[in-house]
Amino acid sequence: MQVFLDKLMARLHSRYTTIFSHYYPAHGSTGFTERNLTNNFVSALESLYPGSCFSWFEAPISLTEKKHMDAVVFTETELFLIEAKRFTAPQSKTNSVRNDIERMQSNEALLLLEKGLINPIQRQRYAVVLADVWTETKGKQDIFDTWPACLNSGPFLYSKTLEFSDLPVEGEWKNNYKILVAVKQLT
C-alpha cells in the first residue's frame, strides 16, 4: 500500500502543479476551498483505477442527522473515506479533524455507506484526511512541522506533506501553501 500511496501523492502533486503553473485560484486571498482538495484527490485516485472505481461526494452517513463524508471512493477491493479541512484556525481545525476521524471509524457510518452497494463485498477501508495550510504564522507552521502527530489520533498507515516552492511562477504564496495527507487503515 505504501508504494500505491506514494504514486497517488505524485499524481496529486502533479495535478496541483499543473493548475498552479497556469492559474492562481484565489484573488487577493488564500481562500482555496476544501472542495478543491477533495476533488483533486479523488481525481488523482480515480486515475489509478481507470474504469474500475466510483466516487460520491457528500455521502450521507446518518439517517437522523445531516452528517456526511466529503467524499467516498469504492474500488473493487477498497473503500476510501475522505474528509478535507483548511487549517485557518489551527486549534479548532485539529479538533475538527479528530472528530472527522472518529466519524470515519464509526461502524454505523460504514454500514450505512456500504448498505447502498448493489454488490456488497468486504473491502479494506481507509480513512483519508486531507488538509491545506498556509505556513505564514507560527501556529500554522507548527501544524506542518508536526503532521500528522499534531492530530493526536493514534498511528497512521501513511502521511505526506506536499510543497510547491519549486513552481515556475512568481509570488511568495508558493512558499507558504502546503497540502497535508494522512491515511489510517480501518478495521
Cell 502533479 locates to 14
Query: Which residues have a Cβ under 8 Å from the Cβ of 130 and sit 6 or more positions away?
Result: 34, 37, 38, 41, 82, 83, 84, 85, 179, 180, 181
Structural domain of residue 9, as residue ranges? 2-186
Amino acid 32: pLDDT: 87
Question: pLDDT by residue (tens digit) across 50-66?
Answer: 999 999 999 999 888 88
Based on the structure, what is the number of domains in the chain? 1
Cell 487549517 locates to 87
Question: pLDDT by residue (tens digit) across 102-148?
Answer: 999 999 999 999 998 988 899 999 999 999 999 999 999 999 999 99
Question: pLDDT by residue (tens digit) across 9-35?
Answer: 999 999 999 999 999 888 777 678 899
Amino acid 116: pLDDT: 86
- Grid cell for residue 127: 480513512
Q: Mean pLDDT in the chain?
A: 94
Q: Report the percent of the chain where pLDDT is more than 70.
A: 99
Amino acid 101: pLDDT: 95
Q: Give the sign of the dihedral formed by CA 48, CA 49, CA 51, CA 55.
A: negative
Q: What is the mean pLDDT of residues 157-183?
A: 95
